[in-house]
């Protein structure tokens, strides 16, 4: 039996090392030994070859185990994700999602849950993309300067890679709580409401965008 860990990150603030640690920790708890890692630093919108999906399928055989952090690391849309899972099932490969154990192929009702999760993961990506474009277009139409203000710190913070999305959401009238709910699933570590609030309030261009009544 071969155990492979598949790791993919798609934004600058995500860390391959964090996913590797998560998979190794799970393997240790389950008394498994990961024989190989397939690591990819690339956007989910790249093709399967660039994301090493084809290589992954070719490596796995009946009885092998594939460990992934979560469903969103596998496919770029619902159809691709389900096709990949179907191919792995046909090869009798055990698929484990560390953060979503209810989706692992050994769990009951896993196929139905996988379809549901895939659908919502794809819908969320499309929604975020749409709202970001709408918000930035509206800001540009009002003649507002986009991007981080001059003189802002150079050290990368967890929310820096999502700043444009946060700006777009604020332009669209979303609350801090709503923004947190949309962005947290895409972070390696969940951030509190106060972390989002602090980030926005300490950005001279984001703070004025808060609706009246928000603190």
- Which residues are the active-site residues? 10
Chain centroid to Cα 61, Å, comes to 27
CB distance 148 to 167 below 8 Å: no
Cα→Cα distances 202→39, 112, 153, 194, Å: 35, 43, 11, 12
User: Are β-strands 36-41 and 65-68 bridged in parallel, bridged antiparallel, or unpaired?
Assistant: unpaired
CB distance 43 to 10 below 8 Å: yes
Distance CA 82, CA 95 (A): 12
Residues recorded for the chain: 215
Q: Residue 69 is encoded by which pair of tokens?
A: 């952090």
CB distance 71 to 114 below 8 Å: yes
Q: Residue 146 is encoded by which pair of tokens?
A: 């986009």
Q: At 117, which helix (H) or strand (E)?
A: helix 110-141
Distance CA 177, CA 197 (A): 9
């Amino acid at each position: 039996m071969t155990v492979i860990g598949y790791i993919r990150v798609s934004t600058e603030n995500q860390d391959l090392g964090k996913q590797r640690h998560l998979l190794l920790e799970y393997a240790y708890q389950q008394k498994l030994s990961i024989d190989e890692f397939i690591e990819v630093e690339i956007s989910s919108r790249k093709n399967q070859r660039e994301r090493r999906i084809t290589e992954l399928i070719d490596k796995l055989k009946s009885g092998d185990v594939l460990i992934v952090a979560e469903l969103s690391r596998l496919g770029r849309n619902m159809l691709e994700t389900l096709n990949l899972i179907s191919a792995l099932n046909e090869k009798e490969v055990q698929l484990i999602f560390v953060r979503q154990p209810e989706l692992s192929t050994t769990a009951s009702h896993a196929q139905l849950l996988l379809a549901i999760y895939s659908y919502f993961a794809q819908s969320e990506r499309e929604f975020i993309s749409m709202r970001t474009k709408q918000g930035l277009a509206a800001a540009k139409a009002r003649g507002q300067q986009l991007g981080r203000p001059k003189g802002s710190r150079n050290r990368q913070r967890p929310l820096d890679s999502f700043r444009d999305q946060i700006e777009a959401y604020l332009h669209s009238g979303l609350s801090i709580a709503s923004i947190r709910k949309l962005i947290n699933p895409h972070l390696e570590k969940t951030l509190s409401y106060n972390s989002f609030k602090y980030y926005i309030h300490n950005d001279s261009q984001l703070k004025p965008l808060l609706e009246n009544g928000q603190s």
